[in-house]
Structure 1
């Protein structure tokens, strides 16, 4: 028998403080200080929202988009997945895919700031439909993110928006081939990002 001390068991994250949830006074600092075992959360006006796990189809579309950007985007951009965006002191988002300005990013960070983001992509799932279609575009636009894509599934259809006068304006959509001049000139065959 040994006299060595037994290391204490790590307790799982208990979830957000319910009192602070009711008061809606969580901040970005609270999100940044979450333990490593905490689930991904978004901060919506001071309330922590656990981000649901994506479906396999959702993950495949996100991965294929990341891979397509990795192969086709100019070197001044860097694609990323599972990276949050710090919108303001009480608002964060966890988009599915980001295209970041390479020269501005900190590769050690879990979060980007809106000025680092060239394009944000949300893949719509049944559990996130309202948030991805209505709430997040308003937040991204308010933060000044110039380009937003919404990807609908089954069949895959991409809607591309550009920031105009503080709101997003649809500039292209396709279920066959997305052709755009911004954030870089691209011709994206939708079959390339379809599982």
Structure 2
């Protein structure tokens, strides 16, 4: 059974296209409220996120947006916003969070990015874990995404991958204090344990630690 048929039962509010469609047809079909991806001509609908996924997502998005804006480094975007990977991959993915440096802002269109962002963050769910760690890892690596963060709220596990000179991802571990320093976003660091606190720490307090306020 194709992915199109597998997802049809869970997407009742907007009829799915029949058969394979082009990326341009996919753009015409979806709207700003549609959470779906384009995979080799087929529509893959994304399932709703759990509360802990949403909390971590909003927390990270806020920190990244403020940091990038403060330092005029580029733009931070979030789902639903498509990333059209290189033509050879035939993929239109919808990352949870993406960062685009000033050098790549010209790749941003009205409803999608036509190329690879500098950083992609995926916050996994039980439904998406295999896809995020498998298919998307391979695709983002092949597309030249400089950094890929894979955040797993259920396992309280964060994986950070960085593109090496040979074009392959290498796992970058936080330091002995549990701090991960981004290379794609110069100067940005993250205390990984923040992500697992319940409730999450005050984003304002975290911004103070980052030296932003």
Structure ranking higher in strand proportion? 1
**1:109-128 matched pairs, under 5 angstroms:** 109-115=110-116, 117-128=117-128
**1:4-153 matched pairs, under 5 angstroms:** 13-17=14-18, 20=19, 25-36=20-31, 39-73=34-68, 74-82=71-79, 83-89=81-87, 90-102=90-102, 104=105, 109-115=110-116, 117-153=117-153
| Contact persistence 2:119–2:145 (CA under 8 A) | yes
Q: Which runs of 5+ in 2 are unaligned?
A: 1-12, 201-213
SS in 2 for 1:166: coil
Q: Aligned equivalents of 1:65 and 1:137: distance in 2? A: 20
Moved more, 28-37 or 39-48: 28-37
SS in 2 for 1:33: helix
Q: Which residue of 1 aligns with 2:187?
A: 185
Deviations 1:146-183 (A, max 9, x none): 11110111353321111122321111248x73322501
- When the two structures are aligned, how many residues end up with a matched partner? 177
| Contact persistence 1:159–1:173 (CA under 8 A) | no
Normalising by structure 2, we get a TM-score of 0.73
Moved more, 126-135 or 76-85: 76-85
Of the two, which has the highest radius of gyration?
1
Q: Which residue of 2 aligns with 1:8?
A: none
Which consecutive segments of 4 or more residues in structure 1 shift more than 6 A? none
Q: Aligned equivalents of 1:188 and 1:37: distance in 2? A: 30
